Each structure stands twice: as C-alpha cells, then as structure tokens.
Amino acid sequence: MANDLASELSRRKRTAWGAFKSVEEVAKKTKNVRLRAHLFDSTVLPALTYASKTWAIRKQDEHAISVAQRGIERTILGVTRLTQVREGFRSSELRRRSKIRDAVAWAKLSKIRWAGHIMRFAETRWTRAVIDWIPRDVKRTPGRPPTRWSDFFVKTLNDR
C-alpha cells in the first residue's frame, strides 16, 4: 500500500481554490482583515483540510498544504509573488497581516480531535478495531516503511 497523498492533496487544493473563488468578490470588497480571515477560516480552510484527520501526513505533504495556503493568502492580501520577493516580505509577515489560521496546524489538531473521539469508542466498534489492528503473517517490504496514521502521535508525544 503506497502512502501517497498527492492525488488527494491535488483534489483538496482545487476545492480550496474553488471555495476561495466563491467568496473572492466579497473578500476583495471587504477592508476588514478579521472578516477576511473569518471568510478564509470558514470556507477555504475546511475545503483544504477536509478528511485530514485520516491522513498520514509527511513533511512533503505539509509543505504542499502550506504552499497552497500561501498562494490563497497572497491573493487575499492582493500581493503577488513578485511583489513579495521584491519587497522582501516573508511568509510569516503575510500570515501576520492576514490573521488566518495555519492549515497544517489545523489538520494536525483535527487529527488529534478525531483520535480522541475514536479512543472513546467501545472496543467492539469497527473503527476502533481497525485502529488497534496489527496484521499477522505479513512480510515487510524492503526499505523504509511508509508513514502510518498512528506514527504522528508517537512522534508528537516523543517531541514533548
């Protein structure tokens, strides 16, 4: 089983841009930055991170999500990539100006919330059984094993 989220992330990026285009006219007319951020957080962010609670996110997937978010963020602020480079704006400066939530952090938080929800399930539920399942008689393929959904929690708890 390949751990490749590329097609899913591509679909998520398209839907996020579609969600942004549906509110773009309102966002451009609105001068209030907090209202723009609220529009982003309530329409674009859910479209970009839909089903992220089930993803086994790798660094390159986090990077792809961040790149898509920064593109939409620049459009919200009316800053082109060229302008950003010329004027020396860092991405952190754009984030400070736009006041929108970080999509990667939001995806990780939703994953933690979902894990807590699953752990409260009875052990007879199939969702809980699949999470706790350890396959038997499976020969491991050579090379580094793919990132599993639960590896995120092990890494997060070890980093603390």
- For the stretch 80-94, pLDDT in tens is 989 989 998 898 898
- For the stretch 142-160, pLDDT in tens is 888 888 888 888 888 787 6
Q: Using only C-alpha atoms, what is the Rg of the chain?
A: 19
* H or E segment and range at residue 21: helix 6-29
Encoding tokens for residue 109? 């938080």
**Sequence ranges of the domains in the chain:** 6-135
Main-chain phi, psi angles of 26, to 5 degrees: -65, -40
Stretch among 24-38, 51-65, 143-157 having the lowest mean pLDDT: 143-157
CA separation for the pair 3, 91 (Å, rounded): 29
Q: With 90 as the cut, is the pLDDT of residue 140 above it?
A: no
Confidence of residue 2 (pLDDT cuts 50, 70, 90): low
CA separation for the pair 134, 38 (Å, rounded): 42
CA atoms lying within 13 Å on the CB side of residue 158: 6
Tell me the pLDDT of the chain averaged across its residues. 88
